[in-house]
Chain A
Amino acid sequence: GAVVSQHPSWVICKSGTSVKIECRSLDFQATTMFWYRQFPKQSLMLMATSNEGSKATYEQGVEKDKFLINHASLTLSTLTVTSAHPEDSSFYICSAGRQGYEQYFGPGTRLTVT
């Protein structure tokens, strides 16, 4: 149990375009989902916390107008990278959790902006 999926697993886009990444909890309802970014050889950095039906809470230094997060249901959250640039190329990982329980992570989405 506790499976989290992400789609797509990898994406290449041109500079200036927008990319949407989906995160789904497949066998449980997630009251909270989190989005992380990871650069090569570095640790995961929390970008934002997403609660179903409410606005996401962004970590300091993360541009909320650039990284749009929508948590429309208890099983789906999306991250849209708007006007992507090469410096946004990274490994994006989501996690899903229920109150009082541990988080379960998705397999990640590798974004390359050319």
Chain B
Amino acid sequence: DAKTTQPNSMESNEEEPVHLPCNHSTISGTDYIHWYRQLPSQGPEYVIHGLTSNVNNRMASLAIAEDRKSSTLILHRATLRDAAVYYCILRDPGTYKYIFGTGTRLKVLA
């Protein structure tokens, strides 16, 4: 199973953009990159996913490096409600399994 590496924690000021990096150097050509976030005592919430091209949705943007060995989740204007643990996950194309890494704990400062 391909693995991901993320910083343990990051801080951001409210109303400012946040760039959350993820390295996945062993990614295969068919692995999708998924991002989820988890608030305390809740299940993970889907944020965004992509394969090769950059993706945008109402929650965030996903920038994928050309060699696909890294990606960045972009929150355009952080709010206090965005404080969570963010997980970057590679989905196995055959089994659809997710293998969670340690995630990045995002702290948003008012």
Contacts and interface: CB of A to CB of B under 8 A. Distances in A.
A109 B59 CA distance: 26
Given A43-B103, A45-B100, A102-B49, A91 B95 contact: no
B51 to A, nearest CB: 12
Given A49-B95, A102-B34, A102-B49, A44 B100 contact: yes
A107 B100 CA distance: 17
Interface string A1-36: 000101000000000000000000000000010101
Interface stretch (B9-17, B39-47, B63-71): B39-47
Interface residues of B, number: 20
Nearest to B102: A43
Interface string A35-73: 010000001111001000000000000000000000000
A106 B43 contact: yes
Nearest to A103: B98
B45 A105 contact: yes
Interface of A: 4, 6, 32, 34, 36, 43-46, 49, 91, 93, 95, 97, 99, 102-108, 110
19 contacts: A34-B97, A34-B98, A36-B100, A43-B101, A44-B44, A44-B87, A44-B100, A45-B100, A46-B97, A46-B100, A93-B43, A93-B44, A99-B96, A102-B46, A103-B46, A103-B96, A105-B45, A107-B43, A108-B43
